[in-house]
Structure 1
């Protein structure tokens, strides 16, 4: 989908496709420009990944952010046609399995931090 570009510099058609998929599940995103949405998503992914890697970022906010982000991805999975088999939670062949692991990791970080308090 991205070729030599990435989300930070996505072509108009790639940004429109990503934005269109997101607005199908989250209509309020329709007010954003597709290129702006794609750049913001890219920056959020980079910031979240950085927070998870830096040892001085506490587990609670990093895990909460990951859980929230993963919740958004799971919403896409549940509401986007073609990502699940009809009438079932079973994924179609297009589903991305990492989206199921992310909330578990995020919740694990949150619970670990809360358990130390």
Structure 2
């Protein structure tokens, strides 16, 4: 019966893992070739919300961000990586982007969680949090 559960569980996870994994793969690969201006822009945006990031130079920050995104893509796309492990990676990343959304001025309407037009880019990342938590829950359930 455990084998049947594993097959069913893997089939349910496949659409989530493939779509989000492909998204992270594309994003991570795009950042590998980021020019200096793009690196500066990404770094400044992140460092404004998370000041500890200001210690790194922009190009190093973008290389680390790219590596992180590619690692998450691999965790999602490689089937031998347990769902809970992939879910933890995705959840951690999404908490960071949701933090950017909540803490960056101009991302939300005054006194509300509703995004401004500029904030939609980050607010939509809440789907990653939901998928990450679902993978964690499914991974834990499958190991009972």
Q: TM-score, normalised by structure 1?
A: 0.90
Tell me how far 1:6 sits from its aligned partner.
3.2
Correspondence for 2:91: 67
Structure 1: stretches of 5+ with no match in the other structure: none
Structure 2 residue matching 1:6: 3-state secondary structure: helix
RMSD: 1.4
Q: State which structure, 1 or 2, has the greater radius of gyration over its C-alpha atoms.
A: 2
In structure 2, distance between residues paired with 1:14 and 1:82: 20
Pairing partner for 1:34 from 47, 55, 58: 58
Tell me how far 1:115 sits from its aligned partner.
1.3
Pairing partner for 1:102 from 102, 125, 128: 128
| Matched residues, number | 113
Structure with greater helix percent: 2
Whether contact under 8 Å (1:67, 1:106) holds in the other structure is yes
Q: CA 1:6/1:53 → structure 2, altered by over 3 Å: closer, same or farther?
A: closer
Q: TM-score, normalised by structure 2?
A: 0.74
Correspondence for 2:6: none
Correspondence for 2:138: 112
Structure 2: stretches of 5+ with no match in the other structure: 1-28
Deviation beyond 2 Å, 4+ runs, structure 1: none
